[in-house]
Amino acid sequence: MCKDCGCETAGHVHDHEHPHGHAHAPAERRTIALERKVLSQNDARAEANRVWLKTKGVVAINLISSPGSGKTYLLERTLERLNGRVPCGVITGDQYTDHDARRLQGKGAVVRQIETLSSCHLDAERVGQLLPEVVGEGVKLLFIENVGNLVCPSAFDLGESFKVALLSTTEGEDKPVKYPALFSLAPVVVLTKMDLMPHVDWNLGKCREYLRRIHPGVFIFELSAKTGAGMEAWIEYLEKLVE
């Protein structure tokens, strides 16, 4: 092999400088038609996750929202209420730390943390690796708490049964039209921190309208995980899902 340019042509002599990249052997250009999804690898893994979960009779929810909307707080209160009634598993994702996993411990569910480090969303591969650990014998409901982000997670199928979007009263009520990708794909929306509504200029009616325009037929829960208002309807819904 030519040690300068790596070609394998026998008898090739280097007695002069020549630029790298010149072809020693004839090459042919071909166009390969693919019509393949860009995210086919993630999608394939997601589908494998989906089949695995379905076979075990598990309902998996992909919880997506901005950072600070109250996903973890809602999960804490939800797990407490479901403890002893519905066996749950939780996979929670953040760029760094296991703070959320720690908060969710001791409430009757198997909890695992994914630290994505640089990634702004969970992906099917990472979630798939944890499924056997988190979804033990008898687990009926799996919560996947995605990385706080209203944009990227909606594009990465994890194999969930459906997506649930969270929106808090401390965020603009027009978020649904600003982030149509997520809200048009989530059949269920939970409006959180309703106890703060009197203290912020937030229009509930407008929010409901935006949500329905972006996603006709969307199921909206309005609650405060802190005061407990509206939590009963949410818990009842979850229990019915796994009946």
Stretch touching another protein by CB under 8 A, among 25-33, 57-65, 86-94, 223-231: 25-33
Check binding of 10 to another protein (CB under 8 A). no
Min dist CB 149 to another protein, Å, is 9
Check binding of 151 to another protein (CB under 8 A). yes
User: Site for another protein (CB under 8 A): which residue of 155, 200, 229, 233?
Assistant: 155
Stretch touching another protein by CB under 8 A, among 12-20, 95-103, 115-123, 220-228: 115-123
Sign of CA dihedral 166, 97, 94, 178: positive
Longest dimension (CA), the chain: 84
Q: 88 to each of 91, 115, 141, 240, how far by Cα in Å? A: 10, 21, 5, 14
- Rounded Cα distance between 168 and 28, Å, is 57
Contact (Cβ atoms closer than 8 angstroms) between residue 53 and residue 60: yes
- The tokens 């893994």 sit on which residue? 45
Where do the H-state alpha helices sit in 68-153? 71-82, 99-104, 124-134
Contact (Cβ atoms closer than 8 angstroms) between residue 147 and residue 47: no
Check binding of 181 to another protein (CB under 8 A). yes
User: Concatenated DSSP letters for 43-74?
Assistant: HHHHHHHHHHHHHTT-EEEEEE--TTSSHHHH
User: Site for another protein (CB under 8 A): which residue of 83, 95, 119, 129?
Assistant: 119
User: Site for another protein (CB under 8 A): which residue of 177, 204, 241, 242?
Assistant: 177
Contact (Cβ atoms closer than 8 angstroms) between residue 232 and residue 77: no
Min dist CB 156 to another protein, Å, is 8
User: Site for another protein (CB under 8 A): which residue of 180, 187, 195, 204?
Assistant: 180
Stretch touching another protein by CB under 8 A, among 46-54, 138-146, 188-196, 211-219: 211-219
Check binding of 9 to another protein (CB under 8 A). no
User: Site for another protein (CB under 8 A): which residue of 18, 37, 54, 206?
Assistant: 37
Min dist CB 203 to another protein, Å, is 19
Stretch touching another protein by CB under 8 A, among 22-30, 51-59, 162-170, 190-198: 22-30
